[in-house]
Amino acid sequence: MRSLSSSFCYFLSYVLQPWRLRYRLKDHEEKTFRATLYSANDNLRVTDQGTYEIIGIDDALCPGSVISGQATYHVEWISRPSATLSSSTIAHYHPDNRSHILPPICEGVSSHVDLDLTGRPPFQIIYNIAQDSEAGGTKLIDQPTFNSIQSRTRFQLQTSTTGRIYYEVKRMGDSAYPLKQPGTGIIPRSQRLVFEQEVMRRPSVWFKSRNRMTYCQNNTFTPLDPSSSDGIIIFDGSPPFTITLSIKDIAASEVETKIIKVHQYIWRLSIPSYRFKSIGSYLVTIESVVDSSNCAQSVFNSMLNTIWVDVAETAAIIPFDKRSDICAGDTVQFQLEGIPPWTVGYATFFDSNIWWEFYQFV
């Protein structure tokens, strides 16, 4: 049962409300704030940090007095968490869109940035990942969540998709400002950390045809038939290309490597510095290709990056006899070198006349 004194106090607090409070922010004395309070233990909401001073109070009946020594209260904000690029991160700041431009990277190569986080860990970051769209703007491709207990953390970038990739830190929370509900911790657009990176497509290269090529011993590795598609290499990427070829002489077990710069997308094998010294099979392999962006092809198809070359012995005819005079009815013997069938042509001189004849030997 409530006592008489407590009931009377409760009655007075009810009758005398509301209280009209006047206060100011120190160092800003020219501006006075007013608040109407309806409870003896009401809350006073402020929007700036600093030292507040009560300068006057009235209730429903009379003006009041301010107790000396208890008229001030210091308000100090707990700063919201923030994220910035580490000073060790190589980037160029673009003031037009407030974005940090990271160096370009080749497709599939691991890339990251280091972030400096301020606040009270653990931290939680929700960020947007966007990409240029065909319509000319950008399209959102993901909105993942990133967690860290460290004030400096490594932020892995996405390089599996080619094109320009944009990153924007949209929401951030810590132990003082947790991201408990949707919409909390949203960073004003003008204050968001934004950075971007160009992911460059890797070049590719392949033989247009896998037909075996044929050369003669001691031929140089230059095109024999300009109309043939044999030995043609197709490039895809940004020229000029630097292609590395290996030529393996199977019989001699010798491998020679050639590095050639190509300025066009279609190139016919032409290596004048290489000579087929022995007969047999040769295997030509595309070992690597790098384009002008300094990106290299990562995966090769063994069915498309090799071609075989067959080198035959040079055709020759060698007489067994060294006679300069031959009698009628004599048989003259010759040795044929090369790959059959042979076509042999010879001329007969008689009374200042020349007769040409051709024979084929199998």
Decide the pairing of beta strands 72-75 and 50-58. Answer: antiparallel
- pLDDT score of 242: 96
How far CA 205 is from CA of 208, 241, 250, 252, 316, in Å, comes to: 9, 10, 24, 28, 39
Judge: domain 82-200, CATH 2.60.40.1930. Answer: yes
Question: Percent of the chain, pLDDT > 90?
Answer: 57
Q: What number does CATH give the domain 204-312?
A: 2.60.40.1930
Whether 3 shows a pLDDT value over 50: the answer reads: no
Q: How far is CA 45 from CA 80, 145, 211, in A?
A: 18, 33, 84
Classify residue 8 by burial, with Cβ atoms within 10 Å: 0-12, 13-18, 19+: exposed
- Check if 82-200 and 204-312 are the same fold: yes
DSSP state of 121: S
Query: What's the whole-model pTM score?
Result: 0.68
pLDDT at 169 over 90: yes
Tell me which DSSP letter residue 329 carries: T
C-alpha–C-alpha distance, residues 162 and 160, integer Å: 7
Query: Which contacts (CB < 8 Å, 24+ apart) does range 350-357 have?
Result: none
Q: Which two tokens stand for residue 325?
A: 């005079």
Domain boundaries, the chain: 4-75, 82-200, 204-312, 316-361
Q: Choose among 22, 1, 135, 147: nearest CA to 81.
A: 147
Which pLDDT tens digit goes with each residue over 293-316?
999 998 888 789 999 999 988 777
